[in-house]
Amino acid sequence: MVKRNYVVFPIYSLKNIEYDFSYSLDNYFFEKYNLLPYKDSTTTVQINIIKNTHLFNVKIVIETVLKTTCDRCCNHLNIPIFEAFNHIIKQVSNPQHYHENESEPEITYLGFSETDLNFDDTIAEYLHIAIPHSTICNEFGFVCNEEMLHLIENMAPKPSTSHPFANKLNSIH
């Protein structure tokens, strides 16, 4: 597989000023990170970086659409996702020490020998977090498909006949 990066900056190219970048993510990115509910969505990532020597204040804004189905009625749902988060990157002489002793997920420590700022893993992580645990129409401003709910209800086994005691009674008759 071809190794491909999306949101990467060579550190040496960044001066002590503010930068704004815009990217789009495609299906290769979603497959690479197993983010299949986002496939075929138009996904944009805005990155704002303020560099202050060895400190980078980063703001990442992701806009996309999550494609899923309702847990109750199986309707297809397109859920707009808008995630904005702040991230801090610090260049330090012993990044391993910081990663073992600091637990803030929003801070990344990089060694001075690192050549790139790579945001792909971070963006993928936030897209994973943005996937809701349950998806039911009304939680996202949609209405369940009544016809489908009736169908599902009729398909479900009736409690009175599925109970072992009820079955026994039926077999006596």
Is residue 43 a contact partner of residue 25, using CB atoms and an 8 Å limit?
yes
The residue sitting closest to Zn ion, measured at its beta carbon, is 70
Q: Token digits for 108?
A: 């990344």
C-beta of 72: minimal distance to Zn ion in Å? 5
Spatial distance between the Cα atoms of 128 and 8, rounded to a whole number of angstroms: 20
C-beta of 155: minimal distance to Zn ion in Å? 16
Instruction: Write the CB contacts of 24 (distance below 8 Å, at least 6 apart in sequence).
Output: 42, 43, 44, 45
C-beta of 154: minimal distance to Zn ion in Å? 17
Tell me whether residue 20 or residue 147 sits nearer to Zn ion (CB atom).
147
Tell me whether residue 6 or residue 142 sits nearer to Zn ion (CB atom).
142
Instruction: Write the CB contacts of 42 (distance below 8 Å, at least 6 apart in sequence).
Output: 24, 64, 65
Spatial distance between the Cα atoms of 35 and 96, rounded to a whole number of angstroms: 28
C-beta of 156: minimal distance to Zn ion in Å? 16
Tell me whether residue 17 or residue 156 sits nearer to Zn ion (CB atom).
156
Tell me whether residue 77 or residue 123 sits nearer to Zn ion (CB atom).
77
C-beta of 60: minimal distance to Zn ion in Å? 31
* Residues forming the site for Zn ion (CB under 5 A): 70, 72-73, 75, 137, 144
Spatial distance between the Cα atoms of 80 and 37, rounded to a whole number of angstroms: 12
How do 107-111 and 18-25 pair as beta strands? Answer: unpaired
Tell me whether residue 46 or residue 145 sits nearer to Zn ion (CB atom).
145
Is residue 68 a contact partner of residue 37, using CB atoms and an 8 Å limit?
yes
Spatial distance between the Cα atoms of 81 and 14, rounded to a whole number of angstroms: 30
